[in-house]
Chain A
Amino acid sequence: MKISRHFTQEIARVVIGVAAFSTLAVMFWILYQVLREGLPLLHLSFFVEPPREMGRAGGISSTIIGTLALTVVAIVIATPLGVGTAIFLREYTRESRISRVIRFGTDCLAGVPSIIFGLFGFVFFVIFLGMGWSILSGGLTLAAMILPTIICTAEEAIKSIPYSFREVSYGLGGTRWQTIRRVVLPNAFPGILTGVLLGVGRSVGETAAVILTAGSSFLMPDSIFSPIRTMAVHFYILAREGISMEMAYATGAGLIILILIINTVANWLLFRYVHRG
């Protein structure tokens, strides 16, 4: 019996539809599970109290601070370097060997797995430079991890600004640097910000590299030389050790909500940016 093409089409449609639906359903179901168990446990005290009794009681305040501190350090270091590289690639050079080498390096760096960053950070920042397990070591390692993302998005943002903008500036007698500062950067800002937020998202979720470089002490940090535990690390430790399932769920829920907020802001910015341009 010859199967008509229309029949095949209907079958295909159904199969694809079911596959896609079930895939997305499973993925969201995973989030739902964690949120369902964890959300009820999220009251204000959870966020302002530090962990007690190895995590069985108390809250996650020190881990929130830890996550924030690490992310801030990473962003502060990676953004100028990343944007600078993007400006260099786009504004100061033509397509040449140098730019190709830089792009290759960036692409490669983007693919390095997080455990290797962890090994590197451990050997270089913690041991070789003597910084010990600290916010600084962790932040620097994270900065290296998010650098490619920032370079990429910054480059895209700068690339998408029409040349006419620059022409106007040059026509009025501006120098290259003035043009960059006053015309290109402000217009590329939303795009760059998106890249930064993507980097933030990555830093928040990173676990392997953080344990190896920032340690896992859950006390409130004193300075950037103190070790800290981030929310992701806390979640991992709680889940593995079976110390307290409720706390694990609650931390997980907190983590998901944080990521949700970051992503929503990033998308909203992107939306505004697209609208303006």
Chain B
Amino acid sequence: MALSSISVLALIAFFIFEEGLPLMWKVGLQSFLLGDRWFPSKGSFGIFPMIVGSFWVTLGALVVGVPLGLACAIFLCELTSPKVGMVLRPMIQLLAAIPSVIYGFWGLIVLVPLIRNHLGGPGLSILAGSFVLGIMILPTIISISEDSLRALPRIYKEGALSLGATHWQTIWRVLLPAARSGIVASIILGMGRALGETMAMIMILGNAAQMPHSILNSARTLTTNIGIEMGYASGNHRAALFATGVVLFFIIMGLNSLALVISRKGRA
């Protein structure tokens, strides 16, 4: 019974690999990962544009989510009274539980027209995706960073203050660096969440299978590639989607292991 989680993981890995790997061998690892033409009906299976798409959208999400998230974490931890914190914290948890399709919907109704009318392009773009994704990973970054900050021994803060540092100097030069490992872990987890998001991205990225040249371009991520074509695919096409899944699997596993290693080092 206890080995269930391992067995489930193994099952998942097995089936995904079984469907996807043969195609990767057939097409050739290099041309699969680095080919820039995704045209399944003609037999081209290059997923490089999707890798780039995932990269940009995730990066954008971090650009939006990390500074704002840290700001909120600092705000909650240091700049407000505990009572306010007690009210705000459950509310942030609530935001984390909101389904991604709702955020995607908002992005579609509000953000996309805004971008199209004021910045150009079709509106369905990397910019829209990054913004919405950034909002979606905020609760993760906020709660974990805040926990790391609060877990610091009080002596750090008291010591710095007693040496004459201002509150802000204490935060900036002492507390944040000390909580660094937890904060980095939260960022990596946020990254993992961003990479894995599918539904909201299908709604607002536009899903063009091309190399994006600007953040106003439409793009496709590894996840949306699977999501948008899964229903219709068969044979080689389907295998290629599973192969995309394999790549995604590895990337996320790598990221998660990294997060674990960093957070364990920090705790030790």
Contacts and interface: CB of A to CB of B under 8 A. Distances in A.
Q: Do chains A and B touch in the complex (CB under 8 A)?
A: yes
The secondary-structure label for the interface of chain B is helix
A5 B3 contact: no
B71 interface: yes
Interface string A62-104: 0000000000000000001100110011000000000001101
Contact of A102 (B2, B79, B249): B2
Given A239-B108, A263-B93, A112 B227 contact: no
B166 A5 contact: yes
A277 interface: no
A180 interface: no
B9 A23 contact: no
Contacts, number: 213
Contact of B5 (A123, A147, A212, A255): A147
A111 B19 CA distance: 21
A246 interface: no
Contacts of A115: 196, 198, 223, 226-227, 245, 248
A223 interface: no
A30 B106 contact: yes
B101 A109 contact: no
B5 A17 contact: no
B211 interface: no
A58 interface: no
A168 interface: no
Contacts of A273: none
Interface residues of A, number: 75
A259 B97 contact: yes
A19 B67 contact: yes
Nearest to B170: A9
A13 B102 contact: no
B98 A120 contact: no
B95 interface: yes
Interface stretch (A43-51, A159-167, A203-211): A203-211
Contact of A34 (B72, B76, B105, B230): B105
A31 B98 contact: yes
A253 B9 CA distance: 35
B248 A116 contact: yes
A105 B9 contact: yes
B138 A208 contact: no
Interface string A182-217: 000000000000000000011011111000100000
Which one of B5, B67, B71, B75 has the highest number of Cβ atoms from chain A below 10 Å of its Cβ?
B5
A239 B257 CA distance: 36
A201 B96 CA distance: 10
A262 B79 contact: no
Contacts of A240: 203
A66 to B, nearest CB: 15
Interface string A19-63: 110011011101101100000000000000000000000000000
A143 to B, nearest CB: 9
Nearest to A236: B101
21 contacts: A8-B169, A9-B168, A12-B172, A16-B79, A23-B72, A31-B98, A102-B3, A109-B12, A112-B252, A115-B198, A116-B12, A119-B242, A120-B15, A201-B97, A235-B99, A236-B203, A239-B101, A239-B104, A256-B102, A262-B97, A263-B97
